[in-house]
C-alpha cells in the first residue's frame, strides 16, 4: 500500500543537527485526523523521504528552528472516526523509541506484537473470535476475506522474523542468517522501491505499511457494521 497525504504544515527541525523535521500531516488513509510526523531523508518509506525533501525546498513554509514554541496541537478527533488509530499511535511511538535505542530485538518484537494485535482486532470487529495461535488468526482473517492472500503471506513472513528474535538469544540483524534475508524480502514484497537501508529500517518500514493496511480494513469494517437494534 502506497501511503499518500493531502497536506503538511508547521515544519520544525527536530534538533540542531537538522537531520529530521517535525510537522503535522493529513494522510489520505486517515482523512479526518491530522497527525504528528517526523520526516527523515533516510526513511524507509517513500512518503517520509518526500515530505522531508519538500520541507527543505520550502514547499510547506519556513522550517522553524529547534526550541521555538510549537504553533499548534493535535486536533480533537471525534470517537469512532478513526477506529484503533489512538492505540496504533502508541505502537508507533514505542517502535520509534526502540529504533532510537538501536535495539533490533525490541523493535522487531514491538512491530510483531502490533501486527498481531491489529489482526485480532480486525477479526473481532467482524464478529470472529481470534485464535490464540497468531498464524491461525492470520489464516482465519484470510479465509473470511478480511485480508488479501498477499497481506496474509506477508504477515506470516513478518512473524517468522519476529519468532527468530523472540526465541533465540543474541539475535540481531548484524548476526546474519535467514531472518536477515526474510526482512529484506518482506520489504521488497510490501514496499518494493529497491532502496538500500539497514535491515532494521526495512523491517520497520514493511511492518508500518502493513499496520496501516490493517487499520484501513478495521475502519472499513467498522463503518459497514449495522447499528444494533434498540
Q: What is the pLDDT of residues 9-48, one digit of tens each?
A: 999 988 888 888 888 888 877 777 788 888 888 776 788 8
Question: How much is the pLDDT for 55?
Answer: 92
- Domain CATH for 116: 1.20.120
21 within domain boundaries: yes
187-215 average pLDDT score: 83
Residue ending a domain, choose from 20, 54, 82 = 82
C-alpha separations of 222 from 68, 127, 144, 226 in Å: 40, 11, 15, 9
Question: How much is the pLDDT for 48?
Answer: 85
- Paired residues of 21 in beta bridges: 13, 39
Residues in Cβ contact with 13 at an 8 Å cutoff, skipping those fewer than 6 apart: 20, 21, 22, 63, 64, 65, 66
Residue ending a domain, choose from 26, 48, 82 = 82
Residue ending a domain, choose from 16, 47, 82 = 82
Q: Which domain holds residue 186?
A: 85-224
CA pair distance 215, 84, nearest whole angstrom: 7
Q: What is the pLDDT of residues 156-176, one digit of tens each?
A: 999 999 999 888 878 899 888
Question: How much is the pLDDT for 15?
Answer: 82
Q: How confident is the model at residue 180 (pLDDT cuts 50, 70, 90)?
A: very high
Comparing 130-144, 150-164, 188-202, the range with the smallest average pLDDT is 188-202
Strands 5-13 and 35-39 come out as unpaired
- pLDDT for residue 78 is more than 50: no
Q: What is the pLDDT of residues 81-133, one digit of tens each?
A: 444 555 666 666 666 665 555 678 888 888 888 899 999 999 999 999 999 89
17, three cell numbers: 543537527
Total number of domains constituting the chain? 2
Nearest to 155 by CA among 210, 200, 107, 106: 210
Question: How much is the pLDDT for 101?
Answer: 59
Averaged pLDDT of the chain: 81
Q: How far separated are the first and last CA of the chain, in Å rounded?
A: 38
- pLDDT for residue 74 is more than 70: no
Considering the domain architecture, whether residues 102 and 203 belong to the same structural domain is answered as yes
- pLDDT for residue 198 is more than 90: no
Better-scored residue on pLDDT, 73 or 170:
170
Sheet with 21-27: strands ordered across: 5-13, 21-27, 35-39
Nearest to 206 by CA among 221, 195, 217: 195
* H helix or E strand, kind and range, residue 230: none
Are 190 and 210 spatial neighbours (Cβ–Cβ below 8 Å)?
A: yes
Amino acid at each position: 500500500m502506497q501511503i499518500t497525504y493531502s497536506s503538511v504544515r508547521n515544519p520544525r527541525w527536530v534538533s540542531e543537527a537538522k537531520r529530521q523535521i517535525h510537522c503535522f500531516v493529513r494522510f489520505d488513509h486517515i482523512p479526518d485526523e491530522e497527525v504528528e510526523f517526523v520526516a527523515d531523508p533516510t526513511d524507509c518509506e517513500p512518503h517520509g523521504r518526500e515530505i522531508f525533501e519538500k520541507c527543505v525546498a520550502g514547499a510547506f513554509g519556513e522550517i522553524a528552528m529547534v526550541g521555538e514554541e510549537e504553533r499548534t496541537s493535535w486536533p480533537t478527533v471525534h470517537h469512532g472516526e478513526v477506529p484503533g488509530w489512538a492505540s496504533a499511535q502508541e505502537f508507533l511511538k514505542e517502535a520509534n523509541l526502540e529504533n532510537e535505542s538501536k535495539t533490533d530485538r525490541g523493535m522487531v518484537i514491538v512491530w510483531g506484537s502490533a501486527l498481531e494485535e491489529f489482526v485480532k482486532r480486525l477479526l473481532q470487529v467482524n464478529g470472529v473470535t481470534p485464535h490464540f495461535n497468531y498464524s491461525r488468526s492470520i489464516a482465519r482473517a484470510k479465509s473470511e476475506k478480511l485480508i488479501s492472500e498477499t497481506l496474509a503471506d506477508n504477515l506470516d513472513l513478518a512473524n517468522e522474523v519476529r519468532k527468530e528474535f523472540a526465541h533465540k538469544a543474541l539475535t540481531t540483524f548484524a548476526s546474519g542468517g535467514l531472518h536477515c534475508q526474510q526482512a529484506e524480502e518482506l520489504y521488497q514484497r510490501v514496499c518494493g522501491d529497491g532502496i538500500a537501508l539497514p535491515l532494521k529500517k526495512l523491517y520497520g518500514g514493511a511492518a508500518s505499511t502493513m499496520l496501516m493496511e490493517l487499520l484501513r480494513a478495521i475502519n472499513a469494517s467498522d463503518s459497514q457494521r449495522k447499528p444494533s437494534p434498540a
